[in-house]
Amino acid sequence: MNEIATILREWTFKACDEYKWMPAKVPGCVHTDLLHNGVISNPFYGINESGLQWIDKKDWEYVCMFDIPEELKASSRLELVFDGLDTYADVYLNGRHIVSADNMFRSWRIEVKRWLTDNGNRLAVRFRSPVHEDLPKLQKLGYALPATNDQSDVGGLGDNKISVFARKAPYHYGWDWGPRFVTSGIWREVRLEGWSACRIRDLFIRQDQVTPSFAKLTAVLEIESEEAWEGTLRMATEGLSWSKDVSLGIGSNLIELNLEIDQPRLWWCRGLGDQHLYTFKAELLAENKTEAAKTVRTGLRSIKLVTDADADGTSFNIELNGVAVFAKGANHIPNDSFLTEVTYETYRHEIATAAASNMNMLRVWGGGIYEEDVFYQLCDEYGLLVWQDFMFACSMYPGDEAFLQNIELEAAENVKRLRNYPCIALWCGNNEIDTAWSHYDEQAGWGWKQLYSTEQRERIWNDYEQIFHHILPEAVTQYAPGVSYWPSSPMCSLTGRKDQHAHNNSTSGDIHYWGVWHSVEPFEKYNVHVGRFMSEYGFQSFPEYKSVRTYAEESEMALESEVMLAHQKNNRGNQLIKQYMDIYMNEPKDFPSFLYVSQVLQAEAMKTAIEAHRRRKPFCMGSLYWQMNDCWPVASWSGMDYYGRWKALQYYARRSFSDILLSVDGTDDSRIDVYIVSDITVPFRGTLKVILLDFSGKVLQSFVRPIEAEGLAGIKAFSMDAEELLKGLNRSSVVLVAELEKGGVVTQSCEHYFVPFKQMQLDYPTIRISEVEGSAGTSFILETDTLAKQVRLSAETEGIFDDNYFDLLPNKPRTVTFMARSIGEIPFIPAAPGEMKVHSMIDFVTNSNIGNLKNSMA
């Protein structure tokens, strides 16, 4: 082969106005390099964030000394390749300026052979302060552009919000769940590449038509050649091959080869089928000798966004291989404030968690990054569709020629990089900007446009349209034909009228519903505000005690302590959690108890929302809660904390996203409706049991119904007047249990209560735990003598239980298995949990009518 590369690894760095050089880790950033050298303390601990804002005001320099490896010396072309420079950088090779970078999301490639020596080459990268680089742009513009989440005050900049001027991860400037660390550094790989004669720069498997009976594809190759060349292009995959004679001219060549596959094995998202992936290899052959080669892996599928008029408005759903998919999942943010600290295991744990939680989609939100390839590779393997935002969020952006050209290059590069991943279901222009500005509705929006003159408004909106209605959709159409583009989330439709902008009761497009949380509406409103696709909604909680202690001392364990407020980026977050807790829960006994109760509160909110959305299928065809993960240890909307520990929400989501959902709708206190919702293609036939119990397990009423439910559909399987069901019983001391049986085995169950937790008349449970015989200490049976609410199991070993935070009823034992978090290829392995503890809600809340808890290990 004639294309080889070596990674440049040995780097040092310093501030440009200082003299001491220190070792640097590349890929990395200034903040982590300062931390590794002991110059700064842990940025995530205590209130350290505020004391580290000086870092983004300095210029920094990175230097690498390197020799040309022997294997590269014979190459006729040598290129330096920077996969990612964050963000304003000047690069010098042996004292010669070779490139200036100004976009974190682009790569940079420079032919350098004529400037290299065999030994002792000096590569220097000087990063200019993003603060000092962009403040003059704000001054030149003459007015500030909206950037709601830019925490300029934390950065010591007052109201000067400059994030919009940098093509850099927006969340670096702070968000309402993340800190402000405006990084600089070499954040992706640097290498020296050598090649001769010709090489395949890019290989795209364009999927022109894919059905279960045949796939019509086109291999699109970008080939670079030093001279005129003639030979054969051969493509191969899984025993199939295609070839044709080609002639190359000097420079860049675009070559296409038609491919057809009979009876292709299709790629499906999780729950609908296998995730088969083909590896296609392209070779350029001359006299049966391979001159250049490239391989890509992709899955064959047809995919589109369906927005058709119907009786209720306009549909909004992903259609995969002809099947309308109900999207189940969450919004993904970067896994760390310092991106190079994210490991393969971190990504694998997140994606495996999503799959284990019965999700089939993640939304890569527009305030972070176009993710690493490994993220999409894992989504391909686990069967998770990806809603992919371009990196724009909650801001208006400038529209000068240089900025727009930069975006055009960024879009082209990233669409091309990601287009072979079958998981990519949709490209979306931005997060929340259309609805925030609401150009065509003076009474709507976030109050942004009212801050500007008529002339300024039109200019700002014209710049918006240039980016999101022209540059970005044109990039998708040109480089990823067949994949749909959606201009902004949320949005009703691209009309150029008032009806373009989304609202909570939209019957078209997608919705971000935040009435619960920001507007302090009750959880019950989740049953009312259900749109065609719920792409954001959420509720906060704290991480568990072990995680909180990584950033706070015992003396800081108070809701309004300085540290707790520093690790709560939503201005009213802690107060809102407490306010909702007062409505639905009893008073926690202490702060560690508050942490637990906050998680259950969050989980109950999200259960209400998810199941309301799924019961409205097919009117509603998507439910993506905010948010999957965290970028630092913090109180936030995540279901899994910064350390990958599952909150109560993650276990609740696992149940509420089950492929066959059993759900009780008690929206109307006068009726009880039991729904069965299926997201699998085959029909379900079994038995539904509906049982009314008191908290001691006594059966008060029971009903049995044979069930025949079609695949990919929902039915109301049981309905009854609540008073007829209760027959005068005290609502505070009974529970309705619904169970689905198939072949005499309970496959799904759920509980429904008639009052909030704080009104329930509970006794202290005695929870018994016994080991499952033959399980080698990995599985356990739990039993109780009276209702135990939100039973929490905790283990000494890091990992998860296959079920947790569940209600345990008398005469209904529950078997659980502990699975350790591994660092190998299998994410969750049954293992002994070490010391294991069990608690229920009563352990954590005050209630003068309840005695002491007795738990025992049998």
| 228 three-state secondary structure | coil
Report the pLDDT value the prediction gives residue 1, as an integer from 0 to 100: 52
- Gyration radius from the chain CA atoms: 29
Strands (E), 473-586: 484-486, 511-512, 534-536
Q: Any bridge partners for residue 60, and if so which?
A: 15, 127
> How far is the C-alpha of 598 from the C-alpha of 577, rounded, in Å?
7
| 179 three-state secondary structure | strand
Strands (E), 299-438: 303-306, 309-310, 313-314, 317-320, 323-325, 327-332, 361-364, 385-389, 424-428
> How far is the C-alpha of 820 from the C-alpha of 662, rounded, in Å?
29
| 722 class by beta-carbon count within 10 Å (0-12 exposed, 13-18 middle, 19+ buried) | middle
Task: Decide the pairing of beta strands 361-364 and 327-332.
Answer: parallel
Task: Decide the pairing of beta strands 714-721 and 313-314.
Answer: unpaired
Q: Which residue has the tokens 């509980």?
A: 751
Taking only the tens place, the pLDDT of each residue in 293-311 is: 999 999 999 999 999 999 9
Report the pLDDT value the prediction gives residue 216, as an integer from 0 to 100: 98
> How far is the C-alpha of 218 from the C-alpha of 233, rounded, in Å?
13
Q: Which residue has the tokens 């240089």?
A: 402
**And the tokens for 626?**
């905010």
Task: Decide the pairing of beta strands 361-364 and 77-82.
Answer: unpaired
Report CA-CA distances (Å) from 409 to 102, 104, 259, 373, 663: 12, 12, 29, 19, 48
Report the pLDDT value the prediction gives residue 666, as an integer from 0 to 100: 78
How many other CB atoms sit within 10 Å of the CB of residue 389? Answer: 25
How many other CB atoms sit within 10 Å of the CB of residue 335? Answer: 25
Question: Which among 7, 24, 98, 116 has a CA at the least distance from the CA of 61?
Answer: 24
**And the tokens for 354?**
């999503």
Report the half-sphere exposure of 634 (CA within 13 A, side-chain side): 28
Cβ contacts of residue 240 below 8 Å, gap of 6+? 261
Report the pLDDT value the prediction gives residue 825, as an integer from 0 to 100: 74
Q: Which residue has the tokens 């119904």?
A: 705
Q: Which residues of the chain have pLDDT under 50?
A: 848-849, 851-858
> How far is the C-alpha of 195 from the C-alpha of 79, rounded, in Å?
9
Report the half-sphere exposure of 697 (CA within 13 A, side-chain side): 14
How many other CB atoms sit within 10 Å of the CB of residue 721? Answer: 10
Task: Decide the pairing of beta strands 190-195 and 77-82.
Answer: antiparallel
Q: What are phi and psi of 411, to 5 degrees?
A: -65, -45
Cβ contacts of residue 171 below 8 Å, gap of 6+? 149, 178, 333, 334, 337, 367, 368, 631
Cβ contacts of residue 711 below 8 Å, gap of 6+? 678, 680, 681, 682, 683, 684
Contact 699, 692 (CB under 8 A): yes
| 666 class by beta-carbon count within 10 Å (0-12 exposed, 13-18 middle, 19+ buried) | middle
Report the pLDDT value the prediction gives residue 322, as an integer from 0 to 100: 97
To 5 degrees, how large is the angle CA 766–CA 767–CA 770? 135
> How far is the C-alpha of 519 from the C-alpha of 526, rounded, in Å?
13
Most distant CA atoms of the chain, gap in Å = 91
Taking only the tens place, the pLDDT of each residue in 420-462 is: 999 999 999 999 999 999 999 999 999 999 999 999 999 999 9
| pTM confidence score | 0.97
**And the tokens for 720?**
């009854």
Strands (E), 695-787: 699-709, 714-721, 734-742, 745-753, 766-771, 779-784
> How far is the C-alpha of 252 from the C-alpha of 270, rounded, in Å?
39
Task: Decide the pairing of beta strands 22-24 and 121-127.
Answer: unpaired
| 174 three-state secondary structure | strand
Contact 639, 628 (CB under 8 A): yes
Contact 692, 728 (CB under 8 A): no
Question: Which among 455, 448, 452 has a CA at the least distance from the CA of 432?
Answer: 448
Q: Which long-range contacts (CB under 8 A, 24 or more apart) does 669-672 make?
A: 669/722, 669/754, 670/721, 670/722, 670/723, 671/719, 671/720, 671/721, 671/722, 672/718, 672/719, 672/720, 672/721, 672/722, 672/725, 672/736, 672/752
Contact 689, 703 (CB under 8 A): yes
**What domains can be seen in the chain, in order of their start residue?**
3-191 (2.60.120.260), 197-298 (2.60.40.10), 390-503 (no CATH), 762-858 (2.60.40.10)
Question: Which among 91, 143, 801 has a CA at the least distance from the CA of 460?
Answer: 143
Contact 737, 694 (CB under 8 A): no
> How far is the C-alpha of 750 from the C-alpha of 604, rounded, in Å?
13
Q: Which residue has the tokens 């001054």?
A: 139
Q: Which residue has the tokens 């399987």?
A: 717
Contact 448, 436 (CB under 8 A): yes
